[in-house]
Amino acid sequence: MGRGAPAWMWCSSAPTSSGPRSSGASTSSGSTPAGSGAAIRRSARSQYPRDAEAYQRLVSYHQRRAQACRRLTGPLFDHVDTRSVARDLEAVRRALGERRISVVGASYGTLLGQLYAEEFPHRLRALVLDSNVDYSVTDARRHLTSASTAMEQAYRRFAAWCATSPRCALTGQDAIKVLDELMARAERGDLDDPDRPGSTLSPEDLAARIHPSLASSPSWEDLAQDLAGLDTGTRARAEDPGTTPDPTSPIYCSDFRFTVRGFGDLQRLKAASRAAAPHMRINPGRLERRHRMPGLPAPVPQPATPVPDQGHPADPDDQQPTRLRDHLPGGDQRGTSDPHRDAAHL
């Protein structure tokens, strides 16, 4: 990056980026004895409670998990909010000796870019936001339903590809109908999980299995094969890697707090999500985070004038693209090589 050349900082949630204080393969925030991801689903068996008693057990579980995480992490646990990370980014700029920097933010990194611009506007030369997320959303219903709607739209794009691509393992079938049939079997409790003999998948488990493959079309071929395997009960995915660090929960809950007032409120949110996404039904990540908030740090105020969402392909806060240049004078919105994404250059 030599003197006189603009310094570009890449911000996302990847361990190699200038990102969250707790990202990477460390034993800091989120890495608890209980683990996370699939390992959590095994120990608490379901992140998707079927009754009020199971809901309370799950909330209590995450309260204990948050306490363990705070104990193992130390003081850092209560300071992983994104505004603190923006100040870390400023410390990096000073260490580099750069007068101004340009920031590229992708997904989570778009909040970091917004907060850096708000905290240190005179140190920012340019800001690029890719797959921007609207952090002005504070309503639990909209936060969940908009993400579920986008997931539904992403699955429809996959189904359209599957209808014409010879690489789709569901060739000759309607991928929407395949999904509906799998969801119906999951709801009846007779959709076997080929990765865990003797276990079944719930509709939420099925959505969680599908979700990671929807955001990027290169993953669609594997998704089609997995759905075909689920339909016949013959395909198992790669072996689960086991316990992994979970930096997302303490970061997310330091930035936001969505109130769910018991199991009845949760059921109403799920019903609203299903109405918005009749085939995919629900965005599982957004649902799970509701249970993890108790016991985690209180949220820190976020941007006073957050940048509106521009439509993250499978996990946005608002499914409808927004022309960012209408909201930020001097900004521009440009397409990328991926037809489902675009970027804002400000």
Tell me the three state secondary structure of residue 104.
strand
Nearest to 330 by CA among 161, 94, 125, 176: 125
- Whole-number Å distance between alpha carbons of 95 and 91: 6
- Strand partners of residue 124: 101
Residue with the two structure tokens 């034993």: 27
- Using a CB cutoff of 8 Å and minimum separation of 24, what contacts does 271-278 make? 272/141, 272/144, 272/145, 273/144, 273/145, 273/148, 274/148, 275/145, 276/145, 276/146, 276/148, 276/149, 276/152, 277/145, 277/148, 277/149, 277/151, 277/152, 278/152
Looking at residue 189, its amino acid is: G
Spatial CB neighbours of 53, under 8 Å, sequence gap ≥ 6: none
- Whole-number Å distance between alpha carbons of 67 and 72: 9
Phi, psi angles (nearest 5°) of residue 167: -85, -5
**pLDDT tens for each residue of 218-230:** 889 999 999 999 9
Given a contact cutoff of 8 angstroms between Cβ atoms, the answer to whether 334 and 345 are in contact is yes
Could you tell me whether strands 342-345 and 7-11 are parallel, antiparallel, or unpaired per DSSP bridges?
unpaired
The pLDDT of residue 29:
43
Length of the chain: 346
- Whole-number Å distance between alpha carbons of 333 and 150: 20
The pLDDT of residue 94:
96
Q: In this structure, what token pair is assigned to residue 61? A: 């579980």
**C-alpha dihedral (76, 79, 85, 90), degrees to nearest 10:** -90
- Strand partners of residue 101: 7, 124
**pLDDT tens for each residue of 270-289:** 999 999 999 999 888 777 66
Given a contact cutoff of 8 angstroms between Cβ atoms, the answer to whether 254 and 180 are in contact is no
Phi, psi angles (nearest 5°) of residue 334: -130, 150
Q: In this structure, what token pair is assigned to residue 188? A: 């009846």
Percent of the chain with pLDDT over 90: 30
pTM across the whole model: 0.71
Please give the chain's pLDDT, 346 residues, in tens: 444 444 665 655 443 344 556 544 333 444 434 444 444 444 445 678 889 998 888 888 888 888 888 888 888 888 888 889 999 999 999 999 999 999 998 888 888 898 899 899 999 999 998 877 666 777 888 888 888 998 999 999 999 999 999 999 998 999 999 999 999 999 999 999 887 788 889 999 999 899 989 877 888 999 999 999 998 877 655 444 444 456 667 777 778 777 788 889 989 999 999 999 999 998 887 776 655 555 555 555 555 555 544 444 444 433 344 444 554 555 555 555 444 444 444 5
Could you tell me whether strands 342-345 and 332-335 are parallel, antiparallel, or unpaired per DSSP bridges?
antiparallel
Nearest to 202 by CA among 56, 61, 48: 48
Helix (H) or strand (E) run with residue 159 in it: helix 140-164
Given a contact cutoff of 8 angstroms between Cβ atoms, the answer to whether 114 and 324 are in contact is no
